[in-house]
Chain A
Amino acid sequence: MLSRRLAAICLFAALAGAPLTAHAQETLTVFAAASMKNALDDLNKSFTEKTGIKVAASYAASSALIKQIEAGAPADIFISADLDWMTYGLDKKAIAPKSNFNLLGNRLVLIAPKDSKLSDVKIGPGFDIAALASDGRIATGDVRAVPAGKYAKAALEKLGAWAKAESKLAMTENVRAALALVGRGEVPLGIVYETDAKVEPNVKIVGAFPVNSHPAIVYPVALTATAKPGAKKYLDFLRTATALVIFERYGFTYLVKAGP
Chain B
Amino acid sequence: MRKRIVMLELTPDEWTAITLSLRIALVATLGALPLGLLVAWLLARENFWGKALLDGLVHLPLVLPPVVTGYLLLIAFGRKGIIGAFLERTFGIVLAFRWTGAALACAVMAFPLLVRPLRLSFEAIDRKLEDAASTLGANRLWVFLTISLPLALPGLIAGMVLCFAKALGEFGATITFVSNIPGETQTISAAIYTFTQIPGGDAAAGRLVIIAIVIALVALVLSEWLSRRAGTRLHGE
Residues of A participating in the B interface, judged by any CB pair closer than 8 Å: 61, 63-64, 66-67, 70, 85, 88, 136-137, 142, 144-145, 167, 169-173, 177, 181, 184-187
Give 19 CB contacts A-B under 8 Å: A63-B199, A64-B197, A67-B197, A144-B194, A145-B198, A145-B199, A167-B183, A169-B181, A171-B180, A171-B182, A172-B180, A173-B194, A173-B197, A177-B179, A185-B80, A186-B74, A186-B79, A186-B96, A187-B97
Closest residue of chain A to B182 (Cβ to Cβ) is A171
Which residues of chain B are within 8 angstroms of A177 by Cβ–Cβ distance?
179
- Assess whether B198 is in contact with A172, with CB atoms less than 8 Å apart: no
7 cross-chain pairs, A with B, having the tightest CB-CB distances, nearest first: A145-B198, A185-B80, A64-B197, A67-B199, A186-B78, A170-B179, A186-B79
Which residues of chain A are within 8 angstroms of B199 by Cβ–Cβ distance?
63, 66-67, 70, 85, 88, 145
Q: From known contacts A63-B197, A63-B198, infer whether A185 and B179 are also in contact, taking CB-CB under 8 Å.
A: no
- For window 44-92 of chain B, which residues contact chain A by CB distance below 8 Å? 74, 78-80
Which residues of chain B are within 8 angstroms of A136 by Cβ–Cβ distance?
79
Closest residue of chain B to A64 (Cβ to Cβ) is B197
At the interface, is chain A mostly helix, strand, loop or mixed?
mixed
- Assess whether B179 is in contact with A181, with CB atoms less than 8 Å apart: yes
Q: Mark B168-204, 1 if CB is under 8 A from A, else 0.
A: 0000000000011111000000000010111100000
Which residues of chain B are within 8 angstroms of A173 by Cβ–Cβ distance?
180, 194, 197
Which residues of chain B are within 8 angstroms of A63 by Cβ–Cβ distance?
197-199
Task: Name the contact of B179 in the complex, choosing from A64, A145, A172 (C-beta under 8 A).
Answer: A172
- Assess whether B197 is in contact with A186, with CB atoms less than 8 Å apart: no
- The listed residue with most A CB atoms (<10 A of its CB), out of B78, B96, B97, B197, is B197
- Interchain CA distance A167-B183 in the complex, whole Å: 9
**A-B pairs with beta carbons under 8 A, tally:** 54
Closest residue of chain A to B78 (Cβ to Cβ) is A186
Least CB distance from B38 to A in Å reads 32
User: For this complex, into which size category does the number of interface residues on chain B fall?
Assistant: 10 to 19
Least CB distance from B223 to A in Å reads 33
Which residues of chain A are within 8 angstroms of B198 by Cβ–Cβ distance?
63, 67, 142, 144-145
Least CB distance from A72 to B in Å reads 14
- Interchain CA distance A186-B181 in the complex, whole Å: 14
- Interchain CA distance A63-B201 in the complex, whole Å: 11
Closest residue of chain A to B181 (Cβ to Cβ) is A170
- Interchain CA distance A177-B70 in the complex, whole Å: 14
- Interchain CA distance A52-B131 in the complex, whole Å: 78
Task: Name the contact of A171 in the complex, choosing from B74, B79, B179 (C-beta under 8 A).
Answer: B179
If A144-B198, A184-B78, A186-B74 are given as contacts, then 12 extra A-B residue pairs at C-beta distance below 8 Å, sorted by A number, are: A67-B198, A67-B199, A70-B199, A142-B198, A145-B198, A167-B183, A170-B181, A171-B182, A173-B194, A185-B79, A186-B78, A186-B96
- Interchain CA distance A169-B181 in the complex, whole Å: 8
- Assess whether A145 is in contact with B80, with CB atoms less than 8 Å apart: no
- Interchain CA distance A205-B97 in the complex, whole Å: 23
Closest residue of chain B to A177 (Cβ to Cβ) is B179
